[in-house]
Amino acid sequence: MLEARPAAHKLGWAVVGCGWVARDYVIPALQGSRNARLVALCDSDAEALIRIQADGAVRHTALGSVLADRSVEAVYIATPNHLHAAMTEACAAAGKHVLCEKPMAVTPQEALRMVVACQRGRVHYATAFDQRHHAAHRRLRTLVKEGVLGTVTQARIHYACWLPADWTPSNWRIDPEQAGGGAMIDLAPHGLDLLEMVLGDEWQSLTAMTQRRVHGYPVDDGAVLMGQFKSGTLGLLQVAYNCPDAYPRRTLELIGTRARALAYKTMGQTPGGSLSLTDARSGEETWIHLSPDEDRSPFLHQLESFSACVLDGRPQPFSPDRDVRLVGLLSRANHSGRAFPPCH
């Protein structure tokens, strides 16, 4: 790893792939960070680069020119999934730290290649699971650890949206070659990772059922995943591209012997939402207050956490090996329990 830098230094970042996530969340977070700064942007679409509001950032249309820039110390990869592995390997070989959008990779083999490359290059790697950094989820993890919920018996997530084929002019998320799948590979990684984080537990088994029920594109538009954690807790995830946005569709629920925790509208790219506890005996529901200092953008928390580890010369809080394991878990679940009826 690189040696710790002076406290006043801000880590220089390039964002590679300037789609809506980068434009609306990653770039603003870098612009408002206390220990990171945006120095470069990269996208093969020159017109997309022009539309980005980022004064002072050098704009590139090729990754090679980004990696040749000495002011770039870390790279946020927000490209289509099939490019993650090769780009991570290139960044690592150039000595650039990597924060890569989920899913980390399309296959476990690619994920392992990414970790090996970063170890060989002596650079930090992390997967951009921004849900880990939402204030409500971090508070929930503390409540579970402190035993406020008692024994957690079940954990449930509903994380869904409406994603028609024409959602964007070039909707790579519904292209099996670029995305590696549909709703499941796109949305389920968040829930798999998040439940391990809040429970302080590890998935022991996982099966999945997928559907192509509403949209006519060649990938799944919905999935249900269920499994068990090492502790015995049961987990259920419902993810979808076929759920109208007007419905309640972003919930996380933990059932415990002392209390039930319900996080509503906390899963997503923004701060806010609500977190409540329902007492097992009285049925009384109480709301957990989060201060403005806590409840900042999860992308901002994520980038500052990653940058702090690099600048201080300490490991990232979540091991890349864990991320590789989750890619393998999802891949095995997809191939062992898949059901994929045609759209009618």
Q: Quick one: tokens of 40?
A: 């470069």
**Pairing relation of β-strands 250-256 and 152-160?**
antiparallel
Q: What is the pLDDT of residues 117-146, one digit of tens each?
A: 999 999 999 999 999 999 999 999 999 999
Separation between Cα atoms, residue 127 and residue 78, nearest integer Å: 11
CA 302 vs CA 27, 108, 233: distances in Å = 13, 24, 27
Residue 170: its pLDDT value, please?
Answer: 87
Q: What is the pLDDT of residues 159-196, one digit of tens each?
A: 999 999 999 888 999 999 999 999 999 999 999 999 99
Which stretch of DSSP H or E encloses residue 176?
helix 176-179
For 253-273, what is the mean pLDDT?
97
Identify whether the C-beta of residue 201 lies closer than 8 Å to the C-beta of residue 229.
Answer: yes
Q: Exposed, middle or buried: residue 209 (CB in 10 Å: 0-12, 13-18, 19+)?
A: middle
Separation between Cα atoms, residue 7 and residue 10, nearest integer Å: 8
**Does 6 score more than 80 pLDDT?**
no
Residue 340: its pLDDT value, please?
Answer: 57
Average confidence score pLDDT of the chain: 95
For 200-213, what is the mean pLDDT?
97
Residue 335: its pLDDT value, please?
Answer: 85
Residue 336: its pLDDT value, please?
Answer: 75
**Does 5 score more than 80 pLDDT?**
no
Task: Match 């002392």 to its residue by tokens.
Answer: 258
Q: What is the pLDDT of residues 284-309, one digit of tens each?
A: 999 999 999 899 999 999 999 999 99
Residue 344: its pLDDT value, please?
Answer: 58
Identify whether the C-beta of residue 203 lies closer than 8 Å to the C-beta of residue 227.
Answer: yes
Identify whether the C-beta of residue 152 lies closer than 8 Å to the C-beta of residue 254.
Answer: yes
Give the list of residues 6+ apart from residue 109 with CB closer than 8 angstroms, or none: none
Residue 324 phi/psi, 5-degree rounding, is -60, -40
Percent of residues, the chain, with pLDDT higher than 90:
91
Q: What is the pLDDT of residues 26-71, one digit of tens each?
A: 999 999 999 999 999 999 999 889 889 898 999 999 999 999 999 9
For 250-269, what is the mean pLDDT?
97
User: 3-state DSSP: the chain helix, strand, coil percent, rounded to 5?
Assistant: 35, 25, 40
CA 234 vs CA 14, 127, 135, 240, 255: distances in Å = 40, 25, 24, 20, 10
- At residue 1 the predicted structure's pLDDT band, cuts being 50, 70 and 90, is very low
Q: What is the pLDDT of residues 83-108, one digit of tens each?
A: 999 999 999 999 999 999 999 999 99
Residue 339: its pLDDT value, please?
Answer: 59
Residue 2: its pLDDT value, please?
Answer: 44
Residue 217: its pLDDT value, please?
Answer: 97
Instruction: Please count the other Cβ atoms lying within 10 Å of the Cβ belonging to residue 181.
Output: 21
Residue 341: its pLDDT value, please?
Answer: 61
